[in-house]
Amino acid sequence: MPDEKADPTAAHQVELVIRRLDSLSTLPSVAAQFFSKLLQPQFSPSAIADIIELDPALTTRTLSLIHQQGLSFSVQKFSLRQALDKLPAHIIRDVFFSVKGLSAFDPNDDRTLRRKELALHALAVACCAKDIADIISPRMDPRLVHCAGLLHDIGKLALEEAMPKSFARIVEEAKSTGAGACTIEQKHLGLDHTILGKRLAQKWHLPNQITLAVWLHHSDVVRISQSMPGTRIAQVVQLADSIARQSGLGQSGSFDSPEPVEQIAQSLAINFGQLEQIRQKLPEIVRQKSEVLGLDLPNAAATYCDIIHTTAARLAHEHTELSLENQQLQSASSHFDFITEFLLSIDSATEAIDIAENFAARWQKFYQTGVVCLYLAPQANSQSLEAVVVENLSQTKLVYLNVPAETPAIPKVIASDFAILNARDYVDWLFEQLDVDFDLNQTKLMPLLAGDKAIGAVVFELRYPADVELFWEKFRTATSIAGSILDVACAAAKQQRFVEQFAQLLAGPQTHYFAFGEPLAKPRDTQPQIGFPQGGGPTDSSLNALVEMAAGAAHELNNPLSVISGRAQLLNETETSAERQQILKQIQENAGKISQIIEELMSFARPQEPRLVQTNIKQMLDEAVQLAAQKQNVEQLDVQIDVADTLKDVFIDSAQIVSAIANVFSNSLESYTNQQGPIKVTADAGESPDFVKLQIIDFGCGMDAQTLEKATQPFFSAKPAGRKRGMGLAYAHRVIRLNKGRLRITSRPGSGTTVTILLPCK
């Protein structure tokens, strides 16, 4: 097991191990039941649905297959059976024959017993979650909830699969200390099974609501669901997990007290009597389902081996045919096909290292190279990096490498420009750490460029040296496309980790106020915090600091400024020198400007609570145009307003939103050099029935990415010092958020700016 003081590197290594899993193993008894049905001559998908729906390994494999075949689920009508019926029987049979049986065949082996207990616990949570969903239906689909309950601990199953000895020690420590699994996992691994389960759920393309349940079922889901309705299934799974543990059905690997159920039940509008009925029926339901799975099947290992031997010859023959067909397809492939297939194989949830693995395998297959190693540049202040190695057409592995100090991971000659180098002259450190035999005389090195920056490199054996000139342009195109996609994936991963850190803060130790109806502690009052989306707004902590700074500034500066302004006025009235009168007047004016800055800062940091009323969109926009004209000191603005017919009223503080939109207008006018517009405004229903969408479009100078990123920060202005204070968009952004709206800005230099505002209708 990793050291007790787990560091980020240890956590990263655990992630690498877990990410190697393409699927989970199932118990030999379950595999025997399942494979026997697959071998039936008149096989039909519905014949195996009863078993698939009760086993985590088979369910995850099914969901991945459904995604691979381009099918999708309706959230209101989730059904594995219906999805299976849409798939050809031969595809289902071929895929599921690849499901592994647990290697520990002895029914009394500790590992087999431990996996069986985990399977029983998952089954109990699934059955209990479905019963809860039946009560609160139609708010959520019971079949989707059942699946979420079954898969809620796939992170534990993955740990047991990939690191069985470490997992066994984690369970033993949890048992001896009476602790929860998450606590011990965080202590030794640096992360817990909920994060690992989330990673796998995303890799295997499980439905989003199931992924959220896997990730958040140990968090404060009652509080999280108030702002994230999609996490309500996680509430049901957490409640079901507590009931299953209280009932002693299976063993989850946690030995702390189960979560109190009353608060979650109250949030789901379930009473104690209904929970008690579920609790009483649950043992018998789980017993019946375990019989379907064959968890107590005698001689399960022998039966499983017989089935494997029966199918071995047939699978070998089919494999030979597929290999020949694959060679024919390779010879007929074009470079365009290679790029197209690679692009279509990834989506927004795919992690960078998985994209790298995908690309490296496809690279070797298409160009018929020898060994391929693709590595990503290390993060800032680190000499460690991730790499993927492809030794042949069916074997890939992820590795973790260390770059020697003072040695660039990407050689300078290809750090910003494309070239094909002899790898032996630049990356000796890589060959020393890889347990792979490269032919160094034929091994090449190329950068993965994203724009003018290399974010990684590919090292490969070029079996035909003459291909260098033949494929130069194709190599450059392919690596540039891969580099750009990997760069985006790495950036998305950073943002995802920020989200996970935030969720982990929410999941920290919480005070539970009720346990089976008895109050334990008085709730702590909490002050709502206003958060800003990424790209320009202050965080809650920086906003709090801003509030304190503003209050202190107002208290400490306003009185002295009043004295300075008053004294300057008195002196000016008695002064006879015109030059000194001008100086005193400037003192008075600048003191007034400082006071106004403080007032604007306080208005931003502590605005009044909105007074929400139904407001007509057209009237609101007309008032904003008039206010903007007054601010610009002009009689009329060139603003073209187009409001859709029958558009709903919005539920806002009219004065606040009028002021915010007027600030947006003023900012749009500043983008023009010598004219007052035009500004185009459209108002329509948008994509959500609960919001009205406004778009304010100017055709001025626009903003570059660096300016756009700071556009809504207080006191930021692209104008020269002294021209603008930069509070307009910051105030607009703040006020619109207070009114439960949203503001987004898009812009390009020379192409104008579009400000999109969503305002609530109720």
Residue-wise pLDDT tens digits, 270-283: 898 999 999 999 99
Of 522, 88, 123, 503, give the one whose Cα is nearest residue 283.
Answer: 123
Q: What is the mean pLDDT of residues 322-349?
A: 68
Rounded-to-integer distance, Cα 532 and Cα 228, Å:
16
The pLDDT of residue 331: 43
User: Helix H segments across 649-741?
Assistant: 654-670, 705-709, 728-738
The reply to whether 181 falls in a domain is yes
What are 386's strand-pairing partners?
Answer: 400
The pLDDT of residue 516: 33
What are 453's strand-pairing partners?
Answer: 450
The pLDDT of residue 3: 44
Q: In this structure, are 194 and 88 located in the same domain?
A: yes
* Domain end call among 293, 321, 353: 293
How far CA 25 is from CA of 116, 175, 286, 379, 625, in Å, comes to 12, 25, 21, 34, 65
Rounded-to-integer distance, Cα 564 and Cα 558, Å:
10
Lookup: tokens for 133: 């969903």
Confidence of residue 563 (pLDDT cuts 50, 70, 90): low
Q: What is the rounded (10 degree) CA torsion for 462, 463, 469, 470?
A: -120
Q: In this structure, are 444 and 346 located in the same domain?
A: yes
Query: Using omega within 30 degrees of 0 as the cis cutoff, is the peptide bond preceding 28 cis?
Result: no
The number of domains in the chain is 4
Burial of 261 (C-beta count, 10 Å sphere; 0-12/13-18/19+): buried
Q: In this structure, are 197 and 339 located in the same domain?
A: no
What's the chain's average pLDDT?
79
* Domain end call among 605, 633, 652: 605
The pLDDT of residue 603: 64
Lookup: tokens for 597: 């800055």
Q: In this structure, are 276 and 393 located in the same domain?
A: no
CATH number reported for the structural domain that contains residue 678 in this entry? 3.30.565.10
Place of tokens 């306080």: 602
Residues 526-562: pLDDT tens digits? 323 223 343 344 455 555 555 555 555 555 556 566 6
The pLDDT of residue 530: 28
The pLDDT of residue 298: 67
Identify the three-state secondary structure at position 615.
Answer: strand
Strands, E assignment, 568-631: 613-615
The reply to whether 516 falls in a domain is no
Q: In this structure, are 554 and 596 located in the same domain?
A: yes
The reply to whether 305 falls in a domain is no
User: Helix H segments across 333-449?
Assistant: 335-344, 352-367, 428-433
* Domain end call among 293, 309, 326: 293
The reply to whether 634 falls in a domain is yes
The reply to whether 656 falls in a domain is yes
Range of the domain at 600: 540-605
Inform me whether the pLDDT recorded for 414 exceeds 80: yes
Q: What is the mean pLDDT of residues 390-414?
A: 88
Which range has the worst mean pLDDT, 139-153, 349-363, 550-564, 622-636?
Answer: 550-564
Q: What is the mean pLDDT of residues 15-27?
A: 86
The reply to whether 387 falls in a domain is yes
The reply to whether 328 falls in a domain is no
| Percent of the chain surpassing pLDDT 90 | 27
Rounded-to-integer distance, Cα 219 and Cα 234, Å:
9
CATH number reported for the structural domain that contains residue 202 in this entry? 1.10.3210.10
The reply to whether 505 falls in a domain is no
Q: In this structure, are 340 and 451 located in the same domain?
A: yes
Q: In this structure, are 278 and 340 located in the same domain?
A: no
Rounded-to-integer distance, Cα 678 and Cα 236, Å:
53
Of 758, 757, 559, 748, give the one whose Cα is nearest residue 671.
Answer: 748
Task: Identify the residue with better confidence: 689 or 198.
Answer: 198
Strands, E assignment, 31-147: none
The pLDDT of residue 4: 47
Q: In this structure, are 358 and 286 located in the same domain?
A: no
Q: In this structure, are 409 and 442 located in the same domain?
A: yes
The pLDDT of residue 681: 92
Residues 482-531: pLDDT tens digits? 888 888 888 877 767 755 654 554 444 443 333 333 333 433 333 232 23
Q: In this structure, are 577 and 624 located in the same domain?
A: no
Q: In this structure, are 578 and 679 located in the same domain?
A: no
How far CA 567 is from CA of 366, 556, 581, 599, in Å, comes to 83, 18, 12, 21
Q: In this structure, are 386 and 440 located in the same domain?
A: yes
What are 759's strand-pairing partners?
Answer: 692
- Helices vs. strands in the chain: H and E counts, helices first: 28, 15
Rounded-to-integer distance, Cα 228 and Cα 226, Å:
6
Angle at 213 between CA 485 and CA 178, to 5 degrees: 120
| List of long-range contacts for 193-197, beta carbons under 8 Å, 24+ apart | 193/153, 193/155, 193/156, 193/158, 193/159, 194/155, 194/218, 194/219, 195/155, 195/500, 196/14, 196/15, 196/18, 196/155, 196/158, 196/159, 197/151, 197/152, 197/153, 197/154, 197/155, 197/156, 197/158
Q: What pTM was estimated for this model as a whole?
A: 0.47
Of 351, 321, 301, give the one whose Cα is nearest residue 94.
Answer: 321
